[in-house]
Structure 1
Amino acid sequence: MINKKLISIFSVFFLVTMMAVVMATNGSYKLNTYRYYIYVWNMFLAWIPFVFSLIVHNRYYKGKGIINSILIFICMGIWLLFYPNAPYIITDFIHISVSNYPFKIEDTLEFQRNFRIWYDFILIAFCALIGYLLGVASLYLNQIIVKDKFNNLISWIFVIIVSFLSGYGIYLGRFVRFNSWDIISNPMKLFGYIINSFKLEAIYFTLMFGMVLLFTYILVYNLIIFKNNPK
């Protein structure tokens, strides 16, 4: 039997995702463009680690045996591979600066006069928030398992490692234009680049984004703890 709380969380995420899809569809219809659907696609990619974290969580507490353990290991590997896609949507704000608006943005007052810019901004922010929280939820579910399997210290080392690996994964996706599928479709090119990509730009971005992901996760984690024990 699946945990009722997980069903509730899944339902809420699905609802808000559908709201974002409606916004993207409306924007695409009004402007006769498909560019808004890139945010929908990125949300779909953010759902992948969340779904696999649910599978891992369910199998860990409900399943038994060697086959079940192997399945958990494989699913956690897939989760880690796709996890950077969840916070990656934050970088979609760059699309505002390169959008071909039918007007020229000459000063900041333009943002007060053109609803289309605000529509783009709100849609990207909404999708980024959904993607980020999908990632947080999936990381939290896996941290619980690591903590149960080992201890609290190991679980936080796990969170730190995942945060900085995700920062580097986002760098590969945004700057080099690799994606999670490349580890299957083009592994040699991907690994070759990783080996030769340790330069200051990659290090700075990885540390910056990794720190942001880590400390915002700690913030959300403590809010969860406070909710469970507000006294």
Structure 2
Amino acid sequence: MNNRFKARISFFAYIALLFTLDNYYSFMIFNLFLAFAALELSFLLPLFKSHKKRNMLVSFVFFIVFILLSPNVFYVVTDLIHLNFFSFDYMEGLHVNEWWNFFVLISGVFIALFFYIVMIKEIQLLLINTKWNKLILLVFMLLGGLGIYIGRFLRFHSIHLFTEPLSLLKQVLDSLNGNSLLFILWMSVLQFIVYWFFVDSKRNEA
């Protein structure tokens, strides 16, 4: 079973679980849908790698849309903060409802991490003959960290990049400080760790 098929099966199975079984994390439907949309776009990247002048504009627009949507994949990892819905006080015994919801949320995060790994592999394949491929990946991760910050703290969604770009840009610039830059750096480092463990070709060949 290839990664593309695994991603689709896991996405639709997880969404079905959220729709049919009782849980506290219905917001994961939307968040994982956005992550899945970015992943599906990554599979189309080779089709839009064009060197013909008449196709350059279409390719440029597609890559911009992909870059704008891509932070949604790793953003799901930050949904772990919603474990605070429950106390998880093991001294009071086993509360099955708490651990069921733990299972639901962690499963969604694992699926998103799988999406991220597959997406990065698709990008790496696209850049395989590019001189600055590692630098481009690092910039991609930094942009991802910025996108996660915008979504988590400024509460902008991807659609706002098209409907309210000036308002978004102003709020981002106004909010940047030492703490926000640290958060962006940490999210970028986490992405790099996932890349280094699961994607880096030299490591996999060792």
Asked if TM exceeds 0.5, the reply is yes
Is residue 2:12 matched to residue 1:18?
yes
**Aligned ranges for residues 84-123 of structure 1 at < 5 Å?**
84-97=71-84, 99=85, 105=87, 107-110=89-92, 113-123=94-104
**Using the alignment, how far apart are the partners of 2:190 and 2:107 within structure 1?**
18
**Using the alignment, how far apart are the partners of 2:56 and 2:118 within structure 1?**
22
Read off the aligned partner of 2:7 and give its amino acid letter. F
**Using the alignment, how far apart are the partners of 1:71 and 1:53 within structure 2?**
15
Q: Which residue of 2 is the match for residue 82 of structure 1? A: 69
Q: Which residue of 2 is the match for residue 166 of structure 1? A: 144
Runs of 4+ in 1 over 4 A off after TM superposition: none
How many residue pairs match? The answer is: 206
Aligned-residue offset at 1:136: 2.5
Aligned-residue offset at 1:199: 0.8
Q: Which residue of 2 is the match for residue 71 of structure 1? A: 58
Aligned-residue offset at 1:216: 1.4
Is residue 2:31 matched to residue 1:37?
no
Of residues 160-169 and 35-44 in structure 1, the stretch that sits farther from structure 2 once superposed is: 35-44
Please say if residues 32 and 76 of structure 2, whose CA atoms lie closer than 8 Å, have aligned partners that are also in contact.
Answer: yes
User: 1:121-151: per-residue Cα shift (whole Å, max 9, x none)?
Assistant: 1111111121222122222212222232x22
**Using the alignment, how far apart are the partners of 1:192 and 1:10 within structure 2?**
38
Structure 2 alignment gaps of length 5 or more: none
Is residue 2:45 matched to residue 1:51?
no
**Using the alignment, how far apart are the partners of 2:201 and 2:99 within structure 1?**
30
Aligned-residue offset at 1:39: 0.7
Is residue 2:118 matched to residue 1:137?
yes
Higher RCO (C-alpha 8 Å, min separation 6): 2
Read off the aligned partner of 1:141 and give its amino acid letter. E
Structure 1 alignment gaps of length 5 or more: none
**Using the alignment, how far apart are the partners of 2:90 and 2:125 within structure 1?**
45
Which of 163, 174, 183 matches 1:205? 183
Gap change, CA 1:169 and 1:70, over 3 Å in 2: same
Identity of aligned residues (%): 19
Q: Which residue of 1 is the match for residue 172 of structure 2? A: 194
Is residue 2:105 matched to residue 1:124?
yes
In the superposition, the TM-score normalised over structure 1's length comes to 0.79
Aligned-residue offset at 1:64: 6.6
In the superposition, the TM-score normalised over structure 2's length comes to 0.88
